[in-house]
Structures are given as C-alpha cells and as structure tokens.
Structure 1
C-alpha cells in the first residue's frame, strides 16, 4: 500500500491546497486563516484530502475525476459567500452562531414495534406536515 503524501489534513491544506487553488478573496469567495475553527471546513477539506490521496494514484484520469467529482463540487461551497467562512474576513475569524434545536416530543417518533404498521408510519408523516397539507 502506498503511503499518503501528506500526514494530516493541515499539511495538505498548507502545503498543497492554498498554494494551488487560489481565488480572489472578497465578494464571491471567502477564506478564514483559522479554517481549522470551522467544523464544516474541516470535514470538507478532509474529504478533499482523502479523495486526493486516493485518486492521485490512479493513472490517466485519476486527477481529472478528482477535479470533476470532488474539488469542482466542494470548492464553491467551501469558499462561497454562504459557505462556512461567510462571516470571516482575510484578517478576522468570526465565530458562527449555533442554531437552536428543540427535541421532538417522546411520542413523535415511531418505536420498532410501530414499524410493522403502515398506518402508524403514515400518521407519523402526517404529523410532520402543516395542517393545510394533511387533507
């Protein structure tokens, strides 16, 4: 098995990603120097790194596939004006506000015994719909 070129996502980001995939920042594209404080960015960059490590080994079209299937999809989301860095500037990291989540009532979700009843399944779906759509 071939060893990875980079030992961690941080190495891949600092030694490859930011050196090669440059974009003019501001307006459409955003970046945060403290990218590692953004959970979504860590997840997306790690996925890009892992897929890059795998596809670089495929002769011929490996890197073309990586660009098409991975980078070309992730880059606009990652660097986009509504992506994980949307509040940050080149000079400042701004922490995103967490959204609130309310727990569903205990009886809301079906139990394993309820899975055998199509009526119960339909009732659960109907409860999730606004009243005007339940007709």
Structure 2
C-alpha cells in the first residue's frame, strides 16, 4: 500500500521564495555601485586587491629613547651602573643638577648612549671607549665640577670673573686677531685664513662708562 501524500509537500518553503526573488532581480554591479558618492564597502574585485597591493608600505617607527630625560638616565642607569668609592680620587654631588658643567657632560653621555645602544654588538663597547672613559675621570675627578662637594653637601663652585675688552680691542687693538695671527712666510703678513677668521669676529662690545679714581686716591 502506498503512503498517503502529505498535503504540505507541494507548499513552497520560505527558502524557495527567497531564491526565486533573488533569481528574478538583476545582479548588482559591485564595481560601479556607490552610495552618496562613496564606494560601497564591497571587497573582492581585482581592482581593489591591486590597489591594496600597490599601496606604499608604512615606514617603520623611529626608535624611541629608553629614558625621557637626562635626569632619568642619571638616576636610572648612570649611578646604578658606574659606582666608585667617593671621597678621595672620585667626587660626586647629589645635587649634580646644580652644576652646569655636569649637566653638559652627562647630557652628552646620555645622547651618545641612546644612539650607540642601537648599533648592534659593538655599540656600547665603542660608547665606553670613546665617550665614558674620557668623561668619567673628568666628571668624577678631584678637580672636576664636584671638587668642593661631598655626596651629601653641595657647595657652589667658584665662577671666574671677566672684564669687557676696551672698545676696538678686537678690530685694530694690539691684541687683535690679525696682530696675533700666524704669519705667511712668503709675504710676511698674516695669512689669508687668519684674516678671514678675523673678519668673522663679532663686533666689539659697546663702550661702558668707567669711573677712574683721582690721583689723590692712588
């Protein structure tokens, strides 16, 4: 005996309806479709893939310094790495930032360290030889910028005084660059290089009013 046919067998399903509607609609041209002047976000055309492949590669990021400032380098690397017995041959000041010479020398060491640490196997070795080994004996030496200080006490270093040169001293005075320049043995005159150097010297300072003591005071 044959099985009775279900009354729902011939009824189209929802999937059949969607497929038939999709078959009747024209296929969209995904390469030319646009919305408000902008390309539709459809990926898969050969043109878009070529454009992606031809796009220039982004340049690698510039290396960033390990330490954001000279103070961070001094406290986070220098004093931890290079330790000496203080008080005799070597001097240090906890307020090293009060010494302009120390700031200059330590900053030079930091800049060179940041650059040379990126130079591979020999970078830090060259930094020790060419930079630290020269700077350290001067920086921490008994006659260096910390010569009056101890680790716990800062003393302001003596600053040499200067006096302004008299008007015309650097242009035509007895000790001008031309008067003391190397002589050209052929002409017996200052060399052209010395004359060019003297021509580039800054103008003499403006004259200052000085009060001369009377003969009675002398």
Find the structure with the greater CA-based Rg.
2
Among residues 77, 86, 102, which one is paired with 2:147 in the alignment?
86
Relative contact order, CA 8 A, sep 6+: which one is greater? 1
Among residues 162, 169, 172, which one is paired with 1:101 in the alignment?
162
Unaligned runs of 5+ residues in structure 2 are: 1-61, 182-218
Match of 2:109? 48
Local SS of the residue matching 2:89: coil
Q: CA deviation at 1:98?
A: 1.4
The CA distance in 2 between the partners of 1:49 and 1:121, in whole Å, is 37
Structure with greater helix percent: 1
The CA distance in 1 between the partners of 2:148 and 2:123, in whole Å, is 35
Matching of residues 1-135 of structure 1 within 5 Å: 1-110=62-171, 121-123=177-179, 125=180
The CA distance in 2 between the partners of 1:109 and 1:89, in whole Å, is 42
| Off by >6 Å, runs of 4+ in structure 1 | none
TM-score (structure 2 length as normaliser): 0.52
The CA distance in 1 between the partners of 2:99 and 2:149, in whole Å, is 11
Cα RMSD between the aligned structures? 1.5
Count of paired positions? 117
Local SS of the residue matching 2:142: coil
Unaligned runs of 5+ residues in structure 1 are: 112-119, 127-135
The CA distance in 2 between the partners of 1:70 and 1:97, in whole Å, is 26
